[in-house]
A and B are shown apart, each in its own frame.
Chain A
Amino acid sequence: MTENEKLLNDVTNSDYKWGFVTEIEQVEFEKGLNEDIIRKLSEIKSEPEWVLEFRLKAFRHWLTLEEPKWPKVKYSQVDFQDIRYYAAPKNKPKLDSLDEVDPELLKTFEKLGIPLEEQKLLSNVAVDVVFDSVSVATTFKETLNEKGIIFGSISEAIRNHPELVKKYLGSVVPYTDNYYAALNSAVFSDGSFVYIPKGVRCPMELSTYFRINAMETGQFERTLIVADESSYVSYLEGCTAPQRDENQLHAAVVELIAEDFAEIKYSTVQNWYPGDKEGEGGIFNFVTKRGIAHTNSKISWTQVETGSAVTWKYPSCILKGDNSIGEFYSIAVTNNYQQADTGSKMVHIGKNTRSTIVSKGISAGFSDNSYRGLVKVAKSAEGARNFSQCDSMLMGDKCGAHTFPYIEVDNNSATVEHEATTSKVSEDQIFYLNQRGLSTEDAVNMIVNGFCKEVFRVLPMEFAVEAQKLLEISLEGSVG
């Protein structure tokens, strides 16, 4: 950042705008990444020795790696020494009422149909006493405690349940996995930890939204979800509300472990700042998400991606146990200069394992939207079955839609099918709807919704409603 930009930034972001002067007491590290920083980070979080070991091993490995170049995305180099690897949660200025909130933001909230109280929370307005977030969270936590479910931040879990974390951390995504996974393992800030005990069906959808105290998880999030035998959990990550974050690089790791007969449903709605209409700014989202499915278990990923300037994300399932099931449903929308390289990996190891991939890509503006996936059937995967469907829709002639599926089959009893189509919103369809009195914008929304229906169907209900609206907002103005 040049001097001028900095000045500009300081002025535009100054607290003055809101009429507040908040004294923020912050623990902040100097910029840069080295072993000392990692030791200091670990110390501040008062982590046990083994976590520090894990971080250092990951860091040393990371130094030997090169940044991957194969994704079909272009972005300016990230300077890893120019990042502050630890900053205590910033105290955002509290606002007195919604009137003080940026009206643009409120308009978006309204379109998304977010309840008033929730709006306040999201825009950091002091919440009134009746709707005390703490009390809601408390009742919520009590219910979970009764069932023996552990749900909290991973730092807490390291302190309170070290044996569980130690057993599972890095077991699905080892620190050697890839460049960003190694970086994350070295410097992960915080994230969620979920443990569902044997035979328990989690009574509610777990969502980061309720983990209010830990909402500011920072840029190197680490999530670990363990579903013990015969348990069930549905987890929601992110929210439909636009998220503006100062950090440019996000490198999260998510690990799911589904023990025998367990089921994990993981839904993501991601709406990070995609940069402005000229493609300036925006967040780079480089995520490693992977689940391991043991005998008769099921892992289901659902994602709606509308944000980020650059997305690089392949939620995967390792179908290790016999009869295990992996599912991946995705909608990725790119507009303006956004770039997305996303898809799924299904690795069939156990007998009679089944997987389904349904990916819907919508590109508009000048964006590039790629599906990249792998279906691998190992020799041991007798009777494995996969069906993949990747559909792309193009809006405008300046955008790109690409499909790069890899299919590797090493067993003759396996059946693998891949289908992909690329098309546009046809004039006939729009005409048909225009004729019935719908505006072109509404017609396009309706067609897009129909295109994505298979994915909306598997989202948790209220999430699905919001996601549909989110899609409309993301594509606003893309139809001329």
Chain B
Amino acid sequence: MTKEYHINQDYIVKFADWKNSKNGNSVDFLSDIAENSINRFAESKFPTTKDEEWRFTNISNFLKSDLKPATFEDFASKSISENLFQNSLKNTESIKLVFQNGFFNENLSSISNLNEKVVFGSLNIISKEKPELFAKYFNKSKDEKSTFELLNNLFAVDGFFLFVPKNVVLEKPIEVINLIGNETQNLLVSTHNLIIVEENAEAKVVFQSVLDNSQTNFHNYFTEIFGGKSSKIEIYDTEESHINKIGTTEIVLEDNSLFNHFSFSLSANFVRNNLNAKLNGEHIEAHFYGLYTEKQNEHVDNHTFINHAKPNCFSNEVYKGILTDNSKAVFSGKILVEKDSQKTNAYQSNKTILLSDNARIDTKPQLEIYADDVRCTHGATVGQLNKESLFYIISRGIPKEIAQSMLIRAFLAEVIDAIKIPELREQINHKVFVSLNQREIL
């Protein structure tokens, strides 16, 4: 107990240092938030494996590593190598926003004109330019905050902001690239993203986290998404290289909205995603897809919580993964159907294939239902590639590696085929095979 307390103390000390380093440039909305959070942070505790929600994910190593909260200097001192962008979408016309160690980098970003009513860009800048719009949504998605969310409140000074007003449709996806890394130190990078899509509006956002050195860096993110009536939103969350990441995505949806969320962990070192969605209206359709391919000692933990707060909604959750070497995956999905949320339709499935003796999966698909006229199903399977299918393909003269690739491709197709941006679909497909050292099938 006392140990965790010390860790919080560490960060409180770090917070004081960090504040000084901002050189008085601190009287703004975000620093008020930070000041308000410090007491709550001091009282809260980092979770241990004794906490039910963190039983299978041990963060003590992360807490031990001496992380330095990223400051503006970490942003300025860094030159960017070109190859970091090889992962961004090939479609050059798309809008790219680059955040470097949590700070918006305008020079690296390519911004073409969007509809002029749309507000987007750096959260920090917008919080100053449009304080009313900002204050209306910022930190409004939930009241109770976890230790990591409070940590984010302390150190996040920037992030991605998007506001799409009524009836505006953004056809092209917006790419948000988070570059993380510094040559000398272990950084704690905090970003706070805020996405608001109003009535009848549409938006697509692709998040990419990119690590550009081998230091132990941590990305602590907090993303809030508000979907208005009849809105259509697609969110893609992917991470590159050996990133360490812990964060929360809060989603609040209103009547008749259509929501798609994709979470890809293809070569991340350590990931903990908390995805919480509140279906706060009727006739909402929400899809949550996840894909993880892990190798070596990688660890991926996906916690999802879908709250059916109103009747007549549909939610669908599909998480699939392939584990090799000593990798470990955790899945915990919960569907809550509140009282009177009649005619709810909820599906949830988590399927994992273990390709090595030392890989491990802990999965916990849960249902909590308080309404009677509902259809809820969930399923979880763990297994290996079907030996008979493999034999069948091999017996037709196809080499074993390709046969394996075919089966893996077929297994993951349910998620990959659901990606609605063709370039991204191609890219993810390719990356899956690279990350698994598998032969690609053409």
Q: Enumerate chain A interface residues (CB-CB to B < 8 A).
A: 70, 377, 379, 392, 394-424
Contacts and interface: CB of A to CB of B under 8 A. Distances in A.
B356 interface: yes
A410 B220 CA distance: 29
Nearest to B377: A421
Contacts of B377: 419-422
Given A394-B369, A394-B372, A416 B380 contact: yes
A403 B362 contact: no
Given A408-B362, A421-B376, A421-B377, A401 B369 contact: yes
A159 B380 CA distance: 49
A392 B377 CA distance: 10
A355 B384 CA distance: 18
A301 to B, nearest CB: 22
B371 interface: yes
Contacts of A415: 381-384
Interface in B382-398: 382-384
Nearest to B339: A397
14 contacts: A392-B367, A392-B369, A396-B372, A397-B340, A399-B370, A403-B367, A404-B364, A406-B362, A406-B364, A407-B364, A412-B357, A416-B381, A417-B381, A421-B375
Contact of B380 (A398, A400, A405, A414): A405
Contacts of A407: 361-364, 380, 382
B379 A420 contact: yes
User: Most chain-A Cβ atoms within 10 A of its Cβ — which of B339, B355, B366?
Assistant: B366
Contacts of B196: none
B384 A412 contact: yes
Contacts of A424: 372-374
B303 interface: no
**Among all A-B residue pairs, the 10 with the closest Cβ atoms:** A412-B354, A394-B372, A403-B367, A415-B383, A416-B382, A422-B376, A418-B380, A407-B363, A409-B382, A400-B370
A179 B362 CA distance: 25
Contacts of B68: none
A385 to B, nearest CB: 10
B384 A420 contact: no
Contact of B372 (A377, A395, A404, A410): A395
Interface string B97-130: 0000000000000000000000000000000000
Contacts of A408: 56, 360-363
Given A409-B360, A411-B357, A424-B372, A403 B378 contact: yes
Contact of B369 (A400, A406, A411, A414): A400
B360 A420 contact: no
A404 B370 CA distance: 15
Interface of B: 52, 56, 339-340, 342, 352, 354-357, 359-384
Contacts, number: 113
A106 B327 CA distance: 62
Interface of B, secondary structure class, is strand
Given A397-B340, A418-B379, A421-B377, A412 B355 contact: yes
Given A407-B382, A412-B355, A416-B380, A422 B369 contact: yes
Contacts of A422: 367, 369, 374-377
Contacts of B373: 397, 424
Given A401-B367, A408-B360, A415-B381, 15 more contacts: A397-B342, A398-B339, A403-B367, A404-B366, A406-B364, A409-B361, A409-B382, A412-B357, A412-B359, A413-B384, A414-B354, A414-B382, A415-B384, A417-B379, A418-B379
A402 B383 contact: no
A401 B360 CA distance: 29
A183 to B, nearest CB: 22
A423 B362 CA distance: 27
A402 B357 CA distance: 33
Nearest to B324: A412
Nearest to A368: B370
Contacts of B361: 407-409
A423 B376 CA distance: 7
Nearest to A416: B382
A294 to B, nearest CB: 25
B372 A399 contact: yes
Contacts of A421: 375-377
A395 B52 CA distance: 30
A430 B113 CA distance: 60
A399 B363 CA distance: 26
A236 B49 CA distance: 39
A409 B369 CA distance: 27
Nearest to A371: B367
A405 B367 CA distance: 9
Contacts of B366: 402-405
Contact of B383 (A379, A410, A414, A419): A414
B315 to A, nearest CB: 14
Contacts of A395: 372
Contacts of A398: 339
Nearest to B383: A415
Max count, chain B CB within 10 A of own CB: residue among A398, A412, A424: A412
B299 to A, nearest CB: 14
Contacts of A413: 384
Contacts of A418: 365, 378-381
Given A420-B377, A422-B376, A400 B368 contact: yes
B274 to A, nearest CB: 18
B310 to A, nearest CB: 14
A414 B377 CA distance: 23
A420 B367 contact: yes
A415 B361 CA distance: 12
